[in-house]
Structure 1
Amino acid sequence: MGGACSRKRDQLDNEDRLARGVSGKYCKSGSSKWLTTSFSRPFIDMDPRSGKCPSLLDFSVRRVCNDIDQFDSFRMLPRDITQLILNELVYSQRITDISIQAFRDCALQDFHLGECPGVNDDWIDVISSQGSSVLSVDLSGSDVTDGGLMHLRNCSNIQTLNLNFCEHISDRGLAHIGGFSRLTSLSFRKNNEITAQGMSVFAHLVNLIRLDLEKCPGIHGGLIHLQGLTKLESLNIKWCNCITDSDMKPLSGLTNLKGLQISCSKVTDAGIAYLKGLHKLSLLNLEGCPVTAACLNTLSALGDLQYLNLSRCHITDDGSEGFSRLGALKILNLGFNDITDDCLGHLKGLTNLESLNLDSCRIEDDGLVNLKGLLNLEKLNLSFTLVTDVGLKRLSGLSSLKSLNLDTRQITDVGLASLTGLVGLTHLDLFGARITDSGTNYLRNFKNLQSLEICGGGLTDAGVKNIKDLSSLMVLNLSQNCNLTDKTLELVSGLTGLISLNISNSRITSAGLRHLKTLKNLKQLTLEACRVSASDIKKLQSTDLPNLASFRPE
């Protein structure tokens, strides 16, 4: 059955995943005024089937958007109303080269166009017409060029500028933002054209608080231009494999830095030594860097360090006693390192730990005894370790646990029985564990479960009967259980809170799809390698599941 084999084990963790309804491709951040009004709210719901009555304002905004071709200008409307109209057009993907012109000279504050197709230099002229009113601009993924950025010079009060995935922006474009002295947040993710020379303009951005240069491979040597940015609190240079130890030296004086992400770079223990004076640093991501446990000698001086990611580094038991000096840690990721139970012995004093990731480490049953004092632990990942059913008994006292990942073939029904006291669990991952129908009886104790994965191949419809009453479930993955039939769909039809359902590689047929009509909140449905066609799912989507946005087969 080998369900675990279907999971990609070489995929790096992504701390930036966001649980939101819009695409996670771009990072949006607007002016403070609109963060809690315009872009935090969903689409205006005008569907009469929802049973909700829209406000007069919502109704008016939607009506204007439906008739957008009839309006040449919104200059005479109050700015707040005009902003809502623009936001709605952006979210509904109806903003065009023509309709954007109606917003010229409206003194708008936010242009979040990162989700829009067709954005180019001509749109910049409309943004420029707002003058000093503009506070936030997101042009991520657009066709804007260096020349287009030149037109933003009239927007001297810009505080947030996102140019992620803009392939036509180079050093010449950077030169045009040097005058934005009030800029506090700047993002240039995944840009191959920016170099150390072009980064010289950053030295003028003295109010910068956030800088994101993730996946910019040409910036080696450019961090020297950040030396004077004493207000900088967050720096992201993940996936910049050009970054070396010498690039860390200019950061040594940025004493207000709270978050630093340099994963997948060439930084070693020597480079980390430059960070010893950054006493406000609370987040440090070194995933995939060739650092060893020797770097803990530097990190132990950072008394505010709460988040440390050392996944896929060169951490071994040698020198791991340094972990005992990181008493403020709340989140620690040690996944995919060559550590054993000896290393865990140095973690038992980290009583503030809330999350611990030991994925694919050589941890065995005896090592788990060192976790019994971590009473604040809420999240534990033991996937692909050497832990067996015997070891799980040592977790019974961790009553604060909410998320437990046991994706490993050594775990069986016996181990699950040892966990029944962890009634606070909201996430349980048994992806590759050998759980049978008998073992699902123990799931009845987990009334608060929101996410459950059992994909080891041992379930039949009889086992699903013990899952059907877990009414808090939002994510359910029962893939790889080839004996599940349409009866399973009938059993889960009462789980009306489900957002994601996966029963791939089973005996599900199109005839069983009728049971899913009650799952009105379902957004993702995966039935690959089943006797179900894409057209069957599309029909169900059009008639009964209006929120279904993603499905397989497709």
Structure 2
Amino acid sequence: MGSQSMTGAPIGDWGNLPFLILDGCKDALERHRSSQAVLKTARLVNRWWGRWANGAITSLRVTVRPPGLPGCRSNASCALCTVVNKFVGLCELKVQIRNDGDASDLIPLQALKHLARLDLRMDYLSDEVFQRVGGLTALTQLEICGHCQGAQIPDTSLGHLDSLGSLKQLRLQLFGKISDAHLVQIGAWTGLQHLDLSDSTQITDAGMEHLGQLASLTHLDLSGCPQVGGTGFRLVANMTKLRYLDLGNCCLPDSLMMAIGMLTALTFLNFDGFPRPLCRRDAQLSDDGIAHIDGLTSLNHLGLKWCKDVTNMGIAHVGALISLTSLDLDYVSNITDSGLAFVGRLTALRGLSLKHCGRISNEGLYHVGHLACLRRLSLNSCRQVSDEGLLHIGKLTALTWLDLRHCNKISSMGLQVIGKLDSLTYLDIGYVGRIADVQSAQLGGLKMLRRLRLNQGAWDLRRLEQTLTDCKITLW
């Protein structure tokens, strides 16, 4: 007979390994990849392994739809009761309750004393839902998504979350129902480090004054908040720990960019500018505003998509951001080849998007060809680019992702250059110009290619599929 474990189970065979050993295996797996698949399989070995796996699972996703099961008030309450009783070690839970769910369905969650991360998605949110969530006092991360009962969330609803003293991350996706009154409450949670209020279309600069107290924030997402951008926004300068700031579709005049230029810890900054239906003409980012951020030398990502008032003069300031690894200039239509000379100084770039930058040509791609670290490049709809420009792109041997769609001056000769970029895994040559056929010989060397996109045409698809055996070919 084998010896006994502390729990009384024999340890002489694989079927009854002590939980401590199984926990060690799980920890080892998590250092390299997710252990969830292994845990699901372990539950099927025998009851002993199943008991261990149920206790070892710390993260779970639950989706509930009506109708309810016999004897239960709703399907949601039954499902969550089962979760609580079986998976007692849960630290992270993603719950989606559809249609008839209400606050009472969340009562079983009170038993999860170690629940630290909750992602709650309900079709209809009520004041009582926030009250139930406020009882989960161990939460450090909270995401709530759903439509609200009534035209507005009661001002008192977020007050139910005051009890979450350990809360560090908060995302509220409430389809425009967050107002300045709610920001008064959020501004009191000074321990927050991560705040996402994206698409909160009702909040204004008056509310932003309250968020200025959140000096511990490292992540702030206000994308899709078009009424943000007045004097109240200057208080963002107090958030000196910010590393991530998303202001896509906000109305930011150049005069406010000085406050952003003081956030020297930033590594991610996005100004995606489309659409801005509520913005005044003088409340749009231009070269003068960009001049204030050229001291943000820790930036890794800068997004200027749709910032059409930015010209080569603004890009000259971007050229000083030598730590950039990702730059989005899609639809910045005033950039020319001269502007790309400044982009060519950003030698750490791994991703560059120039979609619909219609004024750049082969001459500008000379500078892009010096970005030896580049992995992703989009020249989609850069209609002045021809085979001559692709000679410069052919030097980028580290490229794995390339979009040439609608570059209608490219011919079969240009494809021969692209066919030598043997690290490519994604290639889009839909609606390129003077190509009678995509021959397997032109692209046959792309052994790493996994996705190829073409437009309808006279391609010899059968031969391409035979040559690129591991590649999925899609027709536009």
TM-score range, shorter chain: 0.7 to 0.9
How far off its partner does 1:526 sit?
A: 1.8
Give 1:520 deviation, angstroms: 3.2
- CA deviations 1:157-204 (Å, max 9, x no partner) are 321111247566543321221221210111124x21342213322232
* Aligned-pair CA distance for 1:525: 2.0
Match of 1:313 in 2: 250
Answering whether residue 153 of structure 2 is matched by residue 220 of structure 1, we say yes
- The CA deviation at 1:418 is 4.7
Q: Is 1:423 the counterpart of 2:337 in the alignment? A: no
Matched residue SS, 1:193: strand
SS for the counterpart of 1:225 is: helix
The 5-angstrom pairing of residues 73-152 of structure 1 reads 84=38, 86=40, 106-107=49-50, 130=54, 132-140=55-63, 145-152=76-83
Alignment of 1:450-461 (within 5 A): 450-454=375-379, 455-461=381-387
User: Structure 1 residues 292 and 442 mapped into 2: Cα distance closer, same or farther (>3 Å)?
Assistant: closer
Maintained 8 Å contact 1:248/1:275: yes
Count of residue pairs the alignment pairs up: 430
After TM superposition, the structure 1 = structure 2 runs for residues 344-383 of structure 1, keeping only pairs within 5 Å, are 361-364=284-287, 369-383=291-305
- Per-residue deviation at 1:471? 0.6
Determine the C-alpha separation between the residues in 2 that align with 1:457 and 1:35.
52
- Tell me how far apart the structure 1 counterparts of residues 264 and 113 of structure 2 sit (CA, whole Å): 39
Report the counterpart of residue 287 of structure 1 in structure 2: 223
CA 1:324–1:425 in 2, change beyond 3 Å: closer, same or farther? Answer: closer
Q: 16, 19, 29: which one pairs with 1:37?
A: 29
Q: Which residue of 1 aligns with 2:173?
A: 238
Any conservation in 2 of the 1:480–1:505 contact (CA below 8 Å)? yes
3-state SS, counterpart of residue 362 of structure 2? coil
Larger mean CA deviation between 261-270 and 524-533 belongs to: 524-533
Shift in CA distance, 460/376, structure 1 to aligned 2, threshold 3 Å: same
The Cα of 1:36 is off from its aligned counterpart by: 6.7
Taking the aligned partners of 1:422 and 1:392, their CA distance within structure 2 comes to: 11
Q: Check 1:375–1:224 CA distance in 2 against 1; reply closer, same or farther (3 A cut).
A: closer
**Quick one: structure 1 residues 165 and 499, their matched pair in 2 at CA, closer, same or farther if it must change by over 3 Å?**
farther
Letter in 1 for 2:179: T
Check if 1:497 corresponds to 2:423. yes
Q: How big is the shift at 1:280?
A: 2.0
CA contact (8 A) 1:107 1:133 kept: no
Compared CA separation, residues 494 and 33, structure 1 to 2 (3 A): same
Percent identity for Structure 1 against Structure 2:
24
SS of the aligned residue for 2:439 comes to helix
What residue is the counterpart of 1:248 in the other structure? 183
Rounded Cα–Cα distance in structure 1 between residues aligned with 2:205 and 2:341: 43
Amino acid at match of 2:428: N
Report the Cα distance in structure 2 between the residues aligned to 1:435 and 1:318, rounded to whole angstroms.
Answer: 29
Q: CA deviation at 1:379?
A: 3.4
Q: Is the 8 A contact 1:235 1:259 kept in 2?
A: yes
- 1:263 aligns with one of 198, 219, 222: 198
Contact residue 254 and residue 289 of structure 2 kept, 8 A: no
Tell me, in whole angstroms, the C-alpha distance in 2 between the residues paired with 1:485 and 1:106.
61
Structure 2 partner of 1:199:
130
Q: Deviations over 1:285-334 (max 9, x none)?
A: 22222233333354344443333333323433566654466455444434
Matched, 1:179 2:115: no
- One-letter identity of the residue aligned with 2:49: C
Alignment RMSD: 3.8
Match of 1:106, as an amino acid?
W
Q: Which residue of 2 aligns with 1:525?
A: 452
Alignment of 1:325-344 (within 5 A): 326=263, 328-336=265-273
Deviation at 1:460, TM superposition (A): 2.7
Partner of 1:470 in structure 2?
Answer: 396
Inter-CA distance 522–208: structure 2 relative to 1 (3 Å threshold):
same
- Structure with the larger strand share: 2
Contact 1:255–1:278 at 8 Å: present in 2 too?
yes
What TM-score, normalized by structure 1, do the two folds share? 0.66
Task: Determine helix, strand or coil for the equivalent of 2:176.
Answer: coil
The verdict on how the C-alpha distance between 1:519 and 1:141 changes in structure 2, with shifts beyond 3 A counting, is farther
Instruction: Quote the Cα distance in structure 1 between the aligned partners of 2:342 and 2:261.
Output: 29
CA distances 1:195-234 after superposition (whole Å, capped 9, x unpaired): 2213322232111111111344459243222110101111
Match of 2:336 in 1: 412
Where 1:139 maps in the other structure, the secondary structure is strand
Rounded to whole Å, the distance in 1 between the matches of 2:186 and 2:318 is 41
Q: Is the 8 A contact 1:245 1:268 kept in 2?
A: yes
Instruction: Verify the 8 A CA contact 2:360 2:384 in the aligned structure 1.
Output: yes
Q: How many angstroms does 1:523 deviate by?
A: 3.1
What TM-score results when the alignment is normalised by the length of structure 2?
A: 0.76
Equivalent residue number for residue 474 of structure 2: 552
1:229 to 158, 164, 169: 164
What is the deviation of 1:244?
2.1
2:142 is paired with a residue whose SS is strand
Structure 1 residue 473 displacement after superposition: 0.6
Q: Give the secondary structure class of the aligned counterpart of 1:305.
A: coil
